[in-house]
Amino acid sequence: MTIERIPLPGVGVCHAITTRAHQRLGVIAHTTGQRDIVLYDPNDPDRAACTLPLEPDEARWIADLLNTTVTVDHLADPEQHLTGITAARIRLPAGSHYDGRSLAATSPGTGASIIAVIRGQQVITAPHPDFVLHHDDTLVAIGDHHGITALTDMLTNTAPDTPANH
C-alpha cells in the first residue's frame, strides 16, 4: 500500500491511501494537533465525501483500536555508529501491563535501558526508577537489537505478569 503525503499549506499535512476495495481515505494532521479522517467520493477521489474531526485524545484512541502491530521507530543518533548499539522509541499502548507501574518494574534483564520518556510535549530525561509510566508515553531506549526487541515485547504485552512473560 502506498501512503501519499500531501502538504496542505497553512493547515498541515494529509496522509492518503486507497484501499484494496478502491476506497480512498486520508488523515489530515493539522498544525494545531487536531486530526481529521477524510473519506473521499468514490466517483471523484479528489473530493471529500465525509470529514470526521477528532480531538488529539480521540485520535490516539482510534489509533490504539487500529494498531494491532507494534511499531519501533529507530532514531538517528550519533552514538549509533557503535557496532550493535541502537536507540529506539517505544510507545506504551493502552492495556499494557506496565501502564501505571514504575519504571523500576521494567528492569528485568532485557539488555536495554530506558533513557527518557516523552509524555505529550514534555521530555523527561534520565527518569528515576519510581517514575510511573502511562499509556501513550513514548519511551526512549538504548541497547542491542535483542534488548530493544525484548523490552518492546515486555512493554507492549497486555497479559498479566507470569514467569512465561519475562
Could you report the per-residue pLDDT of 2-21, keeping only the tens digit for each? 788 888 888 988 989 888 88
43 and 77 belong to one structural domain: no
Q: Quote the number of domains for the chain.
A: 2
Half-sphere exposure of 33 (CA within 13 A, CB side): 7
87 and 157 belong to one structural domain: yes
81 and 159 belong to one structural domain: yes
Listed residues 66, 88, 111: the one ending a domain: 66
Residue 80 has pLDDT above 60, yes or no: no
pLDDT at 99: 92
Listed residues 66, 86, 108: the one ending a domain: 66
- C-alpha to C-alpha distances, 108 to 105, 122, 146, nearest whole angstrom: 7, 26, 14
For residue 72, what is its C-alpha cell? 519501533
107 and 45 belong to one structural domain: no
Listed residues 66, 90, 118: the one ending a domain: 66
Half-sphere exposure of 119 (CA within 13 A, CB side): 11
Query: pTM of the predicted model, to two decimals?
Result: 0.50
44 and 95 belong to one structural domain: no
Q: Which CATH number fits the domain that encloses residue 76?
A: 3.30.70.1450
Confidence class for position 78, pLDDT limits 50, 70, 90? very low
Residue 164 has pLDDT above 50, yes or no: no
80 and 161 belong to one structural domain: yes
Residue 95 sits in which domain range? 72-165
pLDDT at 26: 92
Could you report the per-residue pLDDT of 88-147, keeping only the tens digit for each? 888 999 888 899 999 988 766 778 889 999 998 899 999 999 999 999 999 999 888 888
